Amino acid sequence: MPETPNHQLVKPRQRKNARAMRRVPTDAERKLWFLLRDRRLDGIKFRRQVPFGPYILDFVCFERRLVIEVDGGQHADAAADKARDARLREENFEIVRYWNSDVLKNAEGVLTDLLARLEKN
């Protein structure tokens, strides 16, 4: 398995938490992963629940420097999310957020938006 650029910065507990999150995804995460896994979206490789520094990213494409976060209402204007986004931007990542309801009810729209963003990268 390829290592993330910050492989050595990931603490064992965080790696364990990421594995646990992979085993129990939300409904929206499960649906989006089904659409992204195995390079199903235009041949682009995504990983899920990836430890990155002090954070765990829902989905990431390292090649295109794109992070996808699938959020519920608890993330609306969260200060912790803003700090994480700033850190990721410092590392030259683009961050895109989708609401759980969008993934569950409008997956085609989410994929269309993702493809448009990926074409820019």
Coil/strand/helix, residue 27 = helix
- Residue written as tokens 């089904």? 34
pLDDT digits (tens, 9 = 90+) for 14-40: 787 788 787 878 899 999 999 999 999
Strand order in the sheet with 55-61: 47-52, 55-61, 66-71, 94-99
Coil/strand/helix, residue 39 = helix
> What value, to the nearest 5°, has the Cα angle with vertex 94 and ends 92 and 97?
150
Top pLDDT among 11 and 33 is at 33
The reported pTM is 0.83
Sign of CA dihedral 14, 15, 20, 21: positive
pLDDT digits (tens, 9 = 90+) for 48-85: 999 998 888 999 999 999 999 998 865 556 788 889 99
- Residue written as tokens 């895109």? 96
Does domain 7-116 fall under CATH 3.40.630.40? My reply is no
Token pair in block for residue 20? 């646990």
Domains of the chain, by residue range, sit at: 7-116
